[in-house]
Amino acid sequence: MNEWLLLIAASLIGSLFSLVGGILLLSKRISVRKVQLLAVPFAAGALLAAAFLDLLPEALEHGGEPQGVAALLLTGFIIFFVLERFLGWFHHHHQHGESEQVGRQRATVPLIVIGDTFHNALDGMVIGAAFLADPLVGIVTTIAIAAHEIPQEIGDFGVLLARGMSRKKVLLVNVLSAIVTVLAAVTVFGLGSSLDGLEPVLLSIAAGMFVYIAASDLVPTIHEEPSVRVANYQTIILLLGVLFVGLTTTFAHNFMHAQEAAYSQHEHEH
């Protein structure tokens, strides 16, 4: 498949899939808490695996020096900490019951929409950079981003409904906001050669972003879970998230390398 079509398809499907939790909230057919209990730990595992097993090795493979890659990972982590600290509306994965809802109620609807759109644009930039490095890295990155967006979108849908927005308008606003991910991914990918040499930088910073989201927003929800039994299940789900992305990465790269070797041998023989 053409790389452009693959990028657009993956980012579009990933963006729409991330809305599944919010759509379930609109339908009220499935318990939102159950979705969160599954999505949050899985997303944490997926993000950590994508960062350490995919993005960082790819950054090194594309010419990044180990010390430089580590420094950029730390830089990405700190950048997103500062952004969240001073722009509280930018990133909101926490689900802390009443205290969180009170905090959210202080935000206006436009602010929530702007924050979510900005966040989606940033996700798209990460996806575009990952596809520049390798389409397989792009797909794994898209999966990890879609997984971690599910709990956030549940929160966004809930707040917008609570502020009086109709169900249809909530869905429309979030779909339009999600499309920004695709546009940002296409823009970064389209810059192509002008970003030569920046792939290790972008991938390392993206890895820092993933580690920050998992460590500061997602993993703490497991520790804060009052039920030990549920927390144990969530721990298993987190490990499954790591395993899923790890195996996907390994099999995908092994398959690609085998295809490249077969192609090279065919060219050599002819």
Give mean pLDDT in consecutive 10-residue pieces for the chain, a chain of 270 residues.
84 85 70 72 88 88 89 92 68 45 50 75 87 85 83 73 78 87 92 75 87 86 88 92 85 65 63
What is residue 240's predicted lDDT score, i.e. its pLDDT?
A: 92
What is residue 270's predicted lDDT score, i.e. its pLDDT?
A: 61
What is residue 69's predicted lDDT score, i.e. its pLDDT?
A: 94
Cβ–Cβ under 8 Å, residues 7 and 202: no
What is residue 191's predicted lDDT score, i.e. its pLDDT?
A: 86
Q: Do the domain assignments include residue 267? A: no
What is residue 104's predicted lDDT score, i.e. its pLDDT?
A: 42
Residue ranges in the chain assigned as alpha helix (H):
3-17, 20-27, 32-50, 56-61, 66-86, 97-105, 109-133, 135-162, 167-191, 199-212, 219-224, 228-269
Longest dimension (CA), the chain: 69
Q: Which domain holds residue 114?
A: 3-258
How many domains, in total, are found in the chain? 1
Cβ–Cβ under 8 Å, residues 143 and 14: yes
Q: Do the domain assignments include residue 263? A: no
Residue 178 is inside which H or E element, if any? helix 167-191
Q: Do the domain assignments include residue 54? A: yes
Q: Do the domain assignments include residue 96? A: yes
What is residue 100's predicted lDDT score, i.e. its pLDDT?
A: 46
Q: Do the domain assignments include residue 8? A: yes
In sequence order, the 6+-apart residues with CB closer than 8 A to the CB of 250 are 53
Placement of tokens 């575009």 in the chain: 128
Q: Do the domain assignments include residue 21? A: yes
Q: Do the domain assignments include residue 68? A: yes
Q: Do the domain assignments include residue 123? A: yes
